[in-house]
Chain A
């Protein structure tokens, strides 16, 4: 048995460490721990602020899924104050949310995940002419366009403009550049990876060259997918919003106006680009690689997804009156809210558990535990609902080494700055895979009887991929490859979502409605003395919830449960592993010293650690200092 530490885990957001016990003879991972190694205390900073500003503070929880925390915050404050935003603001926010979804997924695959699958070293062995031919085959074989409904067609874009460059000269040029870097000995971002790992031999050299070429090509194109943030919010990362809607007023009378025809044209073009990049690069690449892995029988890493997944639902088609009153869930285009258990046994045997409205405020449904986290609850409490969230740090250090110099962490005690959120006391996986499992189950079991275009598209995508791969949905979905593939399918729906809401925005403006902000309750004098709200977003990494208490015009309590908290959490009181740990335990490691499979599995969740770790003290007491000197305790 060998204990293997990977710290830092790179190509993620934030600071993450994993430790695994590997049986070197069989490659089986006997036990695994995932540890968030930093916390920043943002929720404490958000306390006692003007609720109209809090979106800006909590937006800085994460700059990768930028704007999802802002959106969750706005939704929670608007839920507390009963503010219904105008139609245009709803459409614009949905465009911003969906273009971020597509962007985040694309950047994740090419720049944070691709190097687990493809290697610049292998790319040197490729024949550029064969790579060009392969590109053509891949585009034809894995063409998933045509699933889009009429509602998401563009009325302006004449033809698809972005395709991968597919000729031998291009691939030879890219290969030449890679050769220069490798020969220089200064590999830069490609340095020190386990390039000799056998998994890199699984794909033919031409796939590696194609992957590296797309890495570079997409790096230069990705910014233009989030352009809607710059038009509607002024910048990216961290675009601007206002409570009650959007600040970007619409006027067709003025070039100084934030939104007019010229600015809408910029958004329109960006949406067309997102669709092209998903349909002609991302989807074919992921499916081509995925099929090779599936054929080789490498469909491990499913972990917790087979057992239990959770999502909140998103993309309100029209403005809603509230979230805790349940109206939000009726308006969502992707009604993924709920929990599905045992999908790993097949969609027929899966069990659906509802989650909506007042459930979100109920500690019997959602709570957080700190059994294995460096915090403690008062009065021997074991679990606390996020809206009651109270946390005192209790940093106990590692099992071996010192508090400032770790050797190994202690999985039997406390080992992470991440808490363990639970649904009815049980751990859940969240993310695009979870969302897809839930929508698929709800539609196939008839729980959703009138699927929206988006829900229909999700089911069509899953069925199409199942037939391409030749295995049933639950087999390929519940795996590392499936998690990566579902994120890609989610990007396709997201790109279409942008187009759908862009079309609605234009139609609504045409009808004479240009309102973007409801300022009726903008003045704190109009607010009740006390109010509570919840804000939900199905963010790129999964279900995100913000709970906000307002008292005397200030935030008196602010708490988030973030997707990566669900996935990266330490064990629960019931000794159940979180999704990262379950994934690692469900993954076979070929070489203990070079756990590429672990890196790949963890990356399939798209970790975002800055999101995951947080601290809050409800009473606003000065946080008790953590004494590292044992005598001071």
Chain B
């Protein structure tokens, strides 16, 4: 069988795309991968020469939301990933084939690519009753997983189910579902948690491997540092309002309309490591906080049992102060922002508050004028 060893540059040549376009793509990839510009040369070298990896993608106890997220990636495009950057030889969501020939194909790949293929797993692993609560091809998923893990170069746990057990592992965990790394040992495992992870985080991990031929730098939990190195709280566009003590007190109040901090609404941003604050969804369009809802911490271990999600986290310190959001809230509540002014670092917020008040006043004046004018016109018309 002919080996599929295309480099990214070769693919560009085949498509009659210029070296310039290729370089531009490399610049974009460098940025997407969260690498400093100084590493551009390394990206170009990697894209010039490296081979494409074979990927086997398994499904356990899951909802297929991770697959759906994966195909939402636009840089790189899902089509480019699936057709050019990886050889996706087994994925029961996208594969044309089914049943016996599909299972036979899996076994062929397991043998031919032993030690070379990447194993991507979506979903948790139910263990109770010999794993019979998730049967694939007539046998328990846990058995399929173990068989496929054996010859894998490394394993990716895609999503919070594979990484931590997920929603079915929340109390009382009826099927005794666990993470992939709970049943597989002796393999390098990359955790890509999230419910689901951001599309470009999912493809970014594969892109890194395709470019550099090695897995991305990981933190102690096994998560790629470039995507899980920061708390959402630290990269949140609403962070200045937290620091200034300006909080949404109730859904759809004035603070909610002005985009103030959602900490008091139960936001899990202060304890959640993910790229929602900087990368965001749809390449910068939004993330739950930007759409007015607190983060539920979906990339954190055991987040489902850290409910209820509208209960605020205890004692998160406000920066540069000795006070907590509690005391600020109380004071502000009592003296209507008078106290906030006294508190350092809130001049901007106060300015904003004043602007809103001024604009309201201006609008009222304008409305009054308009009403008077209309009345005058009506009276004019009557004569």
Contacts and interface: CB of A to CB of B under 8 A. Distances in A.
Nearest to B262: A247
Centre residue among A60, A223, A254, A395 by max chain B CB count within 10 A: A60
5 contacts: A45-B167, A56-B296, A111-B94, A234-B287, A626-B132
Contacts of A40: 61, 126, 133, 167-168, 174-175, 177
Interface in A211-254: 216, 219-220, 222-223, 226-227, 230-242, 244-251, 253-254
A61 B256 CA distance: 30
Given A44-B172, A191-B97, A407-B138, 4 more contacts: A42-B168, A233-B291, A248-B293, A514-B257
B82 interface: yes
A324 interface: no
Interface string A547-574: 0000000000000000000000000000
A231 B174 contact: no
Nearest to A112: B93
Contacts of A186: 1-2, 4, 54, 87, 89
Contacts of A13: 63-64, 93
Contacts of A17: 135, 138
B64 A63 contact: yes
B140 A515 contact: no
B307 A233 contact: no
Given A10-B95, A10-B97, A38-B135, A223 B251 contact: no
A52 B308 contact: yes
B102 A10 contact: yes
Nearest to B171: A45
Contacts of A244: 251
Interface in B247-268: 250-252, 256-260
A11 B96 contact: yes
Contact of A248 (B238, B292, B359): B292
B12 to A, nearest CB: 13
B251 A628 contact: no
Interface in A507-525: 514-517, 519, 522
A388 interface: no
Given A11-B94, A222-B71, A519-B250, A37 B79 contact: no
B181 interface: no
Contacts of B135: 15, 17, 37-38, 406
A246 B291 CA distance: 9
Nearest to B93: A11
A219 B82 CA distance: 10
B286 interface: yes
Interface in A1-43: 5-15, 17, 37-42
Interface in A159-205: 173, 177, 180-181, 183-186, 188-194
A377 interface: no
B289 interface: yes
B133 A39 contact: yes
A381 interface: no
Contact of B290 (A185, A234, A241, A514): A234
Contacts of A519: 250-252
Contacts of A64: 63-65, 68
Contacts of A173: 15
A622 B172 contact: yes
Centre residue among A52, A180, A223, A244 by max chain B CB count within 10 A: A223
Nearest to B258: A254
Interface residues of A, number: 110
Q: Mostly helix, strand, loop or mixed at chain A's interface?
A: loop
Interface stretch (A130-138, A140-148, A149-157, A397-405): A397-405
A63 B307 CA distance: 21
Contacts of B92: 8, 10-12
A189 B94 contact: yes
Nearest to A250: B257
Interface string B43-84: 000000000001000010111111111011110011100110
Given A7-B138, A38-B133, A192-B104, A63 B98 contact: no
Contact of A257 (B62, B132, B137, B259): B259
A230 to B, nearest CB: 5
A190 B87 CA distance: 11
A238 B159 CA distance: 13
A391 to B, nearest CB: 11
Contacts of A342: none
Contact of B252 (A398, A417, A517): A517
A246 B286 CA distance: 15
A599 B135 CA distance: 19
The 6 closest A-B pairs by CB, nearest first: A63-B65, A256-B259, A41-B174, A234-B288, A234-B291, A50-B308
A93 to B, nearest CB: 13
A591 interface: no
B353 interface: no
B131 interface: yes
Given A45-B304, A234-B289, A249-B256, A191 B129 contact: no
Contact of A223 (B74, B88, B359): B74
B133 A11 contact: no
A57 B308 contact: no
Contacts of A227: 282, 285
A112 to B, nearest CB: 8
A615 interface: yes
Contacts of A52: 308-310
B91 interface: yes
Centre residue among B260, B291, B308 by max chain A CB count within 10 A: B291
A242 B276 CA distance: 20
A626 B129 contact: yes
